[in-house]
Chains A and B, each alone.
Chain A
Amino acid sequence: MTITVEPSYDDVQMLVDEVWTSFLGSEEPLLPGAPTDLAVGWSAAVTVSGEWHGMVSVELPTGLAEEVTRRMLMVEETLDEDVADAVGELVNMIGGNVKSLMPGPSVLSLPVVAAGRVARPSDSVEVCRLDASWAGTPLLVSVYVRKDA
C-alpha cells in the first residue's frame, strides 16, 4: 500500500509564485483567488513517478496562456505551438519543484499540453488546489495523487 503524502498548500503557493515572478515579472503579483469555474483554454500536466506518485497540472484561460507566451518568448503574436510550448514549460517548472517537495528519488515526465482540459487519471484524487489570479484573470494549479486501493 502506498502512503498518500501531499505537498503543503504553502509550499506549492510559494513555488508557483516564484515561477510566476521570475518569468512574468513582479509588477503584477500572483494573488490567491476564490475557486472559480474558469474557462480553461489551455492546460498542461506532468507526472511524477518513483518514491512518490502524482500529477501536477496547470489550467489557464486562453488570454492568460497567450500573455504568458508573449512574455516568455518576447513576441507580439502567438501561434498555438508557441502557447503549447510555453504552458508546457510552466508546468515543467512547477512540477519539478513539487517533485522536490516530496520524498525522492522520482522521475518527472515530459509535459503533456492540451487546448482545453487535460484528462486526469480516473484513479486519482486532488490533494492540493491553488486557485490564483494574475492581472485579474483566474488560473488553477492542482496536485493529484493516486487513490489508495
Chain B
Amino acid sequence: MKTVIDDYIREEMFPHMWCPGCGNGIVLGAIIRAIDDLKWDRDKIVMISGIGCSSRITGYVDFCSMNTTHGRALPFATGIKMANLDLKVVVVMGDGDCSAIGGNHFIHAARRNIDLTAIIINNMIYGMTGGQYSPLTPTGRFGTTAPYGNIDQAFDLTSLAMAAGASYVARGTVYHVRQSISLMKKALDKKGFSVVEMISDCPISFGKMNKMRTAVEMLKWIKDIAVSKKAWENLSVEERKEKFVIGEFLDIDRPEYNERYNEIIKKAQKMGGNE
C-alpha cells in the first residue's frame, strides 16, 4: 500500500539517519500530513532548514528543499519568499539552530511578519554535536557542556515570537501528534510569520544525560510536562517548573511584509524618476 508519507518522501534516503525513536521523524510525519491535508501544489512548496539532526529533514522530502547553514534558514527563506511570492516556504529548525545562533534572525523574521512558517523541533539539546546544552535546555538539566547542571534560563520561544511580532504561535509535542498536525495546518495556512514549536525527544543526547535513555521514557516525560492552558492556570509556581503549555497562543492578522513591500513598489513606480 502506498501511504500519504510514501508519496512525499525521497525514498532513496530511507531509512533515515535519525536514531531509534528520535522525534525528528515524528515531526516529519506530522508536517507531511499537514501539508497533504492542505492540498498544496507541491511544486510550489519549499522547505528550508539550518544545521542539526532536525535540519536533515529537508533531505527527506520531495519538495524544493534546502539544508542551509547553522541558524540561517530564516534569512535564506526570506530571500526565497521575496523573490517568488507564489512559493509556500516552510522552515524547520532545531532549538539551538533557531534560538542560539539563529536567535537574531528568528526575532527579525517575526518582526517583519514575513509569510513563512517556522517549525522548531525543540529537543532541548544540541543533538547533532552530541548533547551540549542549548538556550532551551531547562535550568538544572544536564548536557555534556553542563556536567554539573545547566545554570542558564531557557527561552520561552512562543512568548519571544509573540513579542517580536509573529501572526500565529502555537506549541505541540511529538506525543500529541494529532493535535500538532492541526496546529501546523493552521500555521501553514496563515498569512504572515507563523511559528509552531514542537517539543521533541532526543533519547541519545538529551536522554542519555538526563536519565531517560529510551524514546519511550522520553515520550512519557513529554506527556507529563505538557499541560493545557487551563491546567497551567491551576498550577502553583513550583509545579510550573519544567512544564510547558501546549496549544495555540496567538492567531491574529497583521500586515504581512511582502504585502507592504508591494505598496512600496506601487509608490516608487508612481513617483518615477530614473536615477
Q: Do A and B come together as binding partners?
A: no
User: Which residue numbers of B lie inside 8 Å of A, CB to CB?
Assistant: none
